[in-house]
């Protein structure tokens, strides 16, 4: 039996994919941690900010008496404490802040320029990138950011909230792909067709298009309750062209997903064993030509 890579090894690994696996492993638990304390929308924002800080702070992570999961939840606890502190300081803004991003103490000293040139923030509008960097990584209050940028506090709040909502969408699709991969489903031609996606057994065999549709549905970017063929995905899903973060490559015979969550790194998820011998799953970067496939993306992704 294959031994699961430890959290500590994932945090210390130079492999760009490693943090993605760490994220997929702990996102649900961190979100539940916040959901027990704050409204659902705020919980999702706080979870996103926790991993944004952890992604950078992992460079200073040192294995020791505290497990990696404990280190992660320490960051989450700081986010929650700061969220409470802001609410106590400005009760009148609590309702507005409940659906916005809340973040805590400074988790890194990474130069701002490095942050803006890498990772998920690279495709956001400059004002959103700067607001998220100042608020999430530097721990600045909305009022201080507004003063420094000649803006207003509500405007800064809106930039942070909108930017994090954009980033959550591709991460949700990415998490859904990892979840399908962990289920270890068998491949079967036309498997999943004709069955409502939400009622599929977690062990039910799937073909490539059904797996792709299930991933997209769980990620919130597929409206149909029934699986489409790969040809239909190529013709009708989303908009034509590559996405900023997620691209569905499809033709009449096959479909696979490409994730570009890092500025210089891509991952391919292909559920068909014959395409990823010997097993279906993940590959770093693209594998094979794309000229005979149609790229499709969801607006914003």
Same domain, 99 and 214: no
Instruction: Give residue 198's domain range.
Output: 185-297
pLDDT given for residue 99 in this prediction: 31
pTM, entire model: 0.59
Would 179 be classed as within a structural domain? no
Dist CA 117 CA 63 (whole Å): 28
Same domain, 143 and 203: no
Same domain, 217 and 148: no
Same domain, 210 and 132: no
Same domain, 20 and 154: yes
pLDDT along the chain (301 residues), means of 10: 78 85 92 89 86 85 84 90 64 31 29 45 85 78 89 89 82 84 82 83 87 90 90 93 91 89 74 59 59 88 81
pLDDT given for residue 288 in this prediction: 53
Same domain, 68 and 214: no
* CATH number of residue 273's parent domain: 3.90.1720
Same domain, 35 and 165: yes
Same domain, 25 and 157: yes
Whose tokens are 């638990």? That residue is: 29
Would 80 be classed as within a structural domain? yes
Those residues with Cβ within 8 angstroms of residue 113's Cβ, 6 or more apart along the chain or in another chain: none
Those residues with Cβ within 8 angstroms of residue 128's Cβ, 6 or more apart along the chain or in another chain: 159, 160, 162, 163, 166
Those residues with Cβ within 8 angstroms of residue 16's Cβ, 6 or more apart along the chain or in another chain: 262, 264, 265, 284
pLDDT given for residue 100 in this prediction: 35
Same domain, 75 and 211: no
Same domain, 43 and 150: yes
Query: Total domain count for the chain?
Result: 2
Those residues with Cβ within 8 angstroms of residue 88's Cβ, 6 or more apart along the chain or in another chain: none
Long-range CB pairs of 188-194 (<8 Å, 24+ gap) are 192/227, 193/226, 193/227, 193/229, 194/226
Helices marked H in the chain — which ranges?
7-12, 18-35, 40-57, 68-89, 94-97, 112-116, 126-132, 142-149, 153-183, 208-218, 230-236
Dist CA 148 CA 143 (whole Å): 9
Same domain, 223 and 291: yes
Same domain, 11 and 158: yes
Give the domain-ending residue among 110, 138, 169.
169
Residue 200 token pair: 């599929």
pLDDT given for residue 115 in this prediction: 35
pLDDT given for residue 26 in this prediction: 93
């Amino acid at each position: 039996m294959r031994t699961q890579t430890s959290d500590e090894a994932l945090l210390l690994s130079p492999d760009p994919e490693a943090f993605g696996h760490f994220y997929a492993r702990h996102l649900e638990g961190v979100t539940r941690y916040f959901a027990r304390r704050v409204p659902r929308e705020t919980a999702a924002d706080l979870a996103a900010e926790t991993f944004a800080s952890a992604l950078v702070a992992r460079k200073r992570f040192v294995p020791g008496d505290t497990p990696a999961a404990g280190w992660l939840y320490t960051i989450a606890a700081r986010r929650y404490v700061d969220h409470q502190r802001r609410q106590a300081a400005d009760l009148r803004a609590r309702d507005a802040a409940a659906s916005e991003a809340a973040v805590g103490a400074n988790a890194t000293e990474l130069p701002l320029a490095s942050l803006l040139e890498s990772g998920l923030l690279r495709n956001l509008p400059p004002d959103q990138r700067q607001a998220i960097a100042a608020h999430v990584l530097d721990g600045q209050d909305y009022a201080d950011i507004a003063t420094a940028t000649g803006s207003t506090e509500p405007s800064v709040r809106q930039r942070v909230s909108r930017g994090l909502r954009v980033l959550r969408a591709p991460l949700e699709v990415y998490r859904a792909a990892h979840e399908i991969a962990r289920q270890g489903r068998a491949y079967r031609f036309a498997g999943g067709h004709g069955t409502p996606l939400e009622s599929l057994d977690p062990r039910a065999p799937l073909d490539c298009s059904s797996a792709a549709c299930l991933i997209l549905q769980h990620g919130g970017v597929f409206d149909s309750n029934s699986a489409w063929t790969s040809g239909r995905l190529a013709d009708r899903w989303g908009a034509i062209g590559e996405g900023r973060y997620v691209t569905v490559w499809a033709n009449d015979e096959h479909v696979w997903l490409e994730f570009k969550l890092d500025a210089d790194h891509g991952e391919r998820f292909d559920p068909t064993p014959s395409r990823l011998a010997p097993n279906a799953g993940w590959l770093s970067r693209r594998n094979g030509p794309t000229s005979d496939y149609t790229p499709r993306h969801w607006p914003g992704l």
